[in-house]
Structure 1
Amino acid sequence: MMSPGTRELVVASPPPPPIRYALMQIAAELDARFVRAGDALAAAIELSEQIVGGLDAVVSALDARDADAATDDLAEVAAAITALPAALTARGRRIATITDIAALLRAHVLDMHRSLRMLRAYGMNIKIAAAGEAKFVSFVEGMEDKIAAGEALLTEVIRALNALDAAVVGVQQADRRLAGDCAHAVPALPQRLLADARALGEHRSGSAQIAVRVSAIARAIQTKVLRLLHAMQIGDRTRQRLDHVVAALELLDARAYPPAARAHVERLLAAQLAQIVQDFERETGALIGNLQGLLPDVAALGALLADQAGEVDRGTLIRLDRSVSDADRIIVPLRAAQRQAEEMGRLIAATVGDLTARIDGLGAIRTDVQEIATNTRLLCRQHSDIGRAVAVVAQEVDLSASGLGTTATEVGRTIGELGSAQRLLGDDGAGIDGGARLGRALTTIRTAVTRTERLVRDGSEDARRLVALLETSAAELGSEFALGGPITQVQALLSERAEAAPVPAPADEGALRTLLPAIADLYTMASERDIHVDFLLPGMALIGHPAHDEDGLF
């Protein structure tokens, strides 16, 4: 044929003979069909991994450490709430002791205040009795300065006692509210928390068992997937063997060999094709069987999914969430009341500390009053005439000083008792640190709830898709791999054509001794050589047999 532009002669390549062309088409189809099968298998593997991953996520949300910590938190909060009423009762007794001591201290301080007022009045009487004598007037003025300092100190003590009374009232009010909340919460709340702790532990145990089963199923699926992948290699092996038959036909068509020699080779190639069909159908059957064998495993995964995300299991987690949330709402006012009590306790401690710091000052008042009494007597002796008039007043001053000294000693002792009572109040054990513990438990539970809900939503759909995919794939792969028929048709055509030819004569052996070794060089698999041996002429043997065949490499 001439090219229109160049007028050069262009020779078109002739199409391959029908048999060779048919085999080439079948080999090309193999790749496309096995790609489709591989895509379906990859999708199935991905879905199964998603399901297993979802189950693993639920199990990991309640791993042993977190679940045990949440269980311990719930149990400890329950124990603290259970112990709270008794602790509040004990604290009430200690606060009552503080109240009694504070009342006694107030009485002593008021006695000291009255004594100082009386001393101030006695000072005025001394001035009158001394008729303005300068020494007595100067003495009384110094006495009044010391009395004023003492009164100022006692006023500060009274102010501190008033603050203490207010703090005690605040603690008592807070404790009454706390006791009221406890009356509604105990014993129901701690009992429910303990039940929640047990339920969480049981749920964790069940989840751990599911994790073991998930792991076992995952391993089984992995094993079967490996078998599937190995079975998928039949496509590569079959395509190679078909390529070898096509190459042998090309050798046969390259020259005009005698009909008998040609028929002998065609019988050989027909035998190769028959074995290819047998091996292909056996191995694709195994592939489909293994694919169908995944269905029970997927069903087992679906059952686990139902167990893990079923209404009973989900209900357990949701009830735990609701119960612990309710407990958290109850503990909020308990904690608020406790914080108020703690603040009042700190105020009591500060007040007691302030009073303790003033003990030395109260002792100084006693010393000053005793000095006033002593100096009054000395002045009376030094001024006999005026002294006799003042002596009567001096005697009253001495009596007041003595009584004030006794009262000051009692005040110091009482403040010491108040300090001891306050320290005991700090050890009353009425604490409840439930907020942080319940928060940790809620976080653990809610993480499990969230992941379970996700598993219900996504995992169930994945399981349904996986079952449908495997069932559909198994049915479709049966038709996808139905290549045995076309290959058998080509094999029958070769056999039929070979049967019509004469049996090789000695004159044909030369051609066969050239063709058969050339064809043998095409082989890469032992199964091909095993068939080839049956068609060797007497005295012929396979030459250059590879040390390693490729039967198992694909």
Structure 2
Amino acid sequence: MSGTASAVRVERQTTGTELVSRLEGARSRIEQRFLDGGVVLLAVLDVLNRLVASLENLSRSLDDETAQATIGRLVATVDQLTALPAIEETRQQRLASVSVTEKSLGTHIADMQETLRYLRTFATTAKITGAAIPDFSGFAEEILERIQFGRKEVDALGAKIGTLSGVIDAASLGGGEALERFRRSVPDIATNLSRNAADLTSQRKHLSQLAGKVGSSARLVQTKVATTLSAMQIGDITRQRIEHCQSAFAFLDEHLAAGTLDGDAAGRLTALVHHLVRDQLVAITSDFGRECKTVVGTIRSFGTDIDGLMALYGDMAATDGQSADRAMRTLEADIDAARAVVRDIEQAAGKANALGSSTVETVRELLKGVKTIQLVRTDIHYMALNTNLRCSKLGEEGRAINVVTAELRTFSAQLDETAERILVALQSLEGDAGKLGEAGNAAGGSLDIHLEEVLDHIRRAGDRMEEDMAALRDCGADVSAKAGRTIAGLDFNAELGDVLADCAASASDLIGHAMPDTAGLEEAMADLGSRIARVYTMASEREIHARYFGGTLEAAPAQPTAMSDDDLFDDALF
């Protein structure tokens, strides 16, 4: 018995060695080729993932609420900017009014100084005239001292007004030219800001829409690649089924090695296994070809999908991306130009405000000085009146002095009139100076600070968009290179289908046309058939197995890939 079994094994080895070798070659090639294909598709999926992530980042930067709010704030700021020339014109008018009032003060001070000179002259004359009258000399000297004190107060008042005049002249210097420059530049700047802000908003919206379309297209390709990766389980399924054929030969060898069959029975059992393996390989080749055709067709469709994706991406990157970036940078330049004008206007406003504050303070000091002069005038008036009364008592001796002191009273009254005019002018000056600050600034504080904040937001938004567009360009180049170059070569059926067909043909060469007689092989078939059946994972394998070994066989425990080919591809493919 052992000799016969040994002879059968030698015969099976000589006839089946080539098939076993081809099966192992097919199994290893399928395993490696699908692993390589999986690596390629994973690389494509990775770059698509990065493309989608870049698009999402870009969309977030384009739809950034802060950026949109910034542009809205800029548009509101344009209205304030447009109002600046009118504000500056009002300021210049009030500054001119301050200057006119200040110059009138100079005239009044000169009149007061002239009046004091007359008073001094009359007081001196009175002193000389009354030199012979007892105690009159001291009285006249007292009047001269008050006049001298008043002259010093008036001179001090004149000096302060002169200083104020210099400040007002400096503040007014070039005001007309500056106002004309503002009138020429502000409308153009405001128009450019409004137009470019509107262009930027429109371009960002269009770019965001394009990014959404590119993202949708990229996600479709991404999903298709991911689904194809799942569908490539056909490679693993085919490898397993080949291994099951190899297991059938291995289990046959083990059963024959036990020596329980004679040469004839061993030959018939071997022929039965050859028929089984041949039919399994025919089914494997057919299933592999059918499913690979679908996988390869899907992979080939990537080319069209990716071409469409890259065309859409190219339109976004080459046109709207550059336009939005240019609009962003143009807007930055416009804001810089606006800030230069606004700074000049706000500096002028600052000077005017400072002038207004200092003028108000000076006016208050001048008011005190004028009140002092008025007190001096009152003193002189009453001194002159007392002198008149004393002279009346002196009779003829006091007549000449009485004439002079009457003039003192007259001119002291003029001094009071001039002081009143100065008071009126000072009150007007105080009012005009206070209004300088009212004209000063745009609503809401410093417009330059607002523009600086807007510029900072826009600049940061522009930088983010540039970074996102750069990342997008890199991803786009990777998609174009990797997808276009590598996917084209993934034709699994062309490379592996012939290998499987060759294995099936070799299996056919091992068998005759007729089925072997299985009489007397029931026990061997039950044992061997059961062992072979337990490795199956596909329903189609068990169906073929049942045709040769009969019976209803229980399915093997489900493994992760234990789905039928049809079920798998119904779920996996489009």
- Does the alignment reach a TM-score above 0.5? yes
The question of 1:118 aligning with 2:118 is answered yes
Q: Distance in 2 between matches of 1:21 and 1:151?
A: 131
The answer as to whether partners of 2:293 and 2:493 remain within 8 angstroms in 1 is: no
Q: Displacement, 1:364?
A: 2.6
Q: Render the CA deviation track for 1:210-238: whole Å, top value 9, x for unaligned.
A: 23313322331232132022123333323
Q: Deviations over 1:111-163 (max 9, x none)?
A: 33333333333443343233287854554555455445544443343333334
| CA distance in structure 1 between the partners assigned to 2:352 and 2:134 by the alignment | 53
Structure 1 residues 260-311: Cα deviation after superposition (integer angstroms, max 9, x where no partner):
2222222222322233323333333333333233333323332332322335
What letter matches 2:124 in structure 1? Answer: M
Match of 1:409 among 409, 413, 420: 420
Amino acid at match of 2:224: K
Inter-partner Cα distance in structure 2 for 1:154 and 1:289: 106
- What is the aligned partner in structure 1 of residue 539 from structure 2? 526
Name the aligned partner's letter for residue 307 of structure 1. D
Choose from 385, 392, 404 the match for 1:393. Answer: 404
Match in the other structure for 1:83: 83
Pick which of 515-524 and 157-166 moved more: 157-166
- Structure 2 distance, partners of 1:438, 1:308, is 30
Deviations 1:314-368 (A, max 9, x none): 2464266346525634652553354135314412331222212431332132123
TM-score computed with the length of structure 1 as normaliser: 0.84
Q: Which amino acid aligns with 1:309?
A: A
The alignment-based identity, stated in percent, is 26
Distance 1:454 1:289, change over 3 A: farther
Query: What is the letter of the counterpart of residue 519 of structure 2?
Result: P
By how many angstroms is 1:398 displaced?
2.0
**1:508 pairs with one of 517, 521, 526:** 521
Residue 275 of structure 1: aligned partner = 283
**Correspondent of 1:488 among 501, 514, 518:** 501
Length, aligned pairs only: 539
CA contact (8 A) 1:267 1:498 kept: yes
5+ residue gaps, structure 1, are 1-13
Q: How does 1:33-52 map to 2 (within 5 A)?
A: 33-52=33-52
Mark the runs of 5 or more structure 2 residues left unpaired by the alignment: 1-12, 569-574
CA distance in 1, matches of 2:28, 2:324: 57
RMSD value, Cα: 3.6
SS of aligned partner of 1:499: coil
TM score, norm. by length of structure 2 = 0.81
1:427 aligns with 2:435: no
Determine if contact 2:537/2:556 at 8 Å carries over to the other structure.
no
2:386 is equivalent to residue 378 of structure 1 = yes
Which residue of structure 2 lines up, in the alignment, with residue 195 of structure 1? 195
- Output one character per residue of 1:26-66: Cα deviation in whole Å (capped at 9) or x when no partner: 33333332332222223322333444455445544433534
Contact preservation (8 Å) 2:126, 2:401: yes
2:373 is aligned, of 344, 365, 384, to 365
Q: Please name the residue that 1:209 is paired with.
A: 209
The alpha-carbon deviation at position 515 of structure 1 amounts to 0.6
- Do 2:153 and 2:372's aligned partners in 1 also have CA atoms closer than 8 Å? no
> Counterpart in 2 of 1:332?
340
Partner Cα distance (2:516, 2:350) in 1: 114
Q: Secondary structure at the match of 1:535?
A: helix
1:161–1:351 Cα contact (<8 Å) kept: no
Tell me the equivalent position of 2:479: 466
Equivalent position SS for 1:131: coil
How many angstroms apart in 2 are the aligned matches of 1:151 and 1:21? 131
Task: Tell me, in whole angstroms, the C-alpha distance in 2 between the residues paired with 1:314 and 1:504.
Answer: 80
Quote the residue 1:4 is aligned against.
none
Once residues 210 and 312 of structure 1 are traced to their aligned partners in structure 2, the CA distance between those partners, rounded to angstroms, is: 9
Q: Structure 2: how far apart are the matches of 1:406 and 1:341?
A: 36
CA displacement at 1:183 relative to structure 2: 4.7
Distance 1:132 1:329, change over 3 A: farther
- Per-residue deviation at 1:514? 0.2
Show the 5 A alignment for 1:88-487.
Answer: 88-131=88-131, 135-140=135-140, 142-185=142-185, 187-256=187-256, 258-311=266-319, 314-315=322-323, 317-318=325-326, 321-322=329-330, 325=333, 328-329=336-337, 331-333=339-341, 335-336=343-344, 338-378=346-386, 381=389, 384-385=393-394, 388-428=399-439, 431=442, 435-436=448-449, 459=472, 462-463=475-476, 465-478=478-491, 482-487=495-500
Cα deviation per residue 1:367-426 (whole Å; 9 max; x = unaligned)? 232023213433554574475554333222222332222332332232222222223232
Q: Cα–Cα, structure 1 residues 274 and 472, in superposed 2: closer, same or farther, change >3 Å?
A: farther
**Superposed CA offset, 1:520-548 (max 9, x none):** 221234343333333332xx321465367
Question: Is the contact between residue 164 and residue 351 of structure 1 (CA under 8 Å) also seen in structure 2?
Answer: yes
SS at match of 1:482: helix
The answer as to whether partners of 2:359 and 2:433 remain within 8 angstroms in 1 is no
- CA distance in 2 between counterparts of 1:393 and 1:126 reads 6
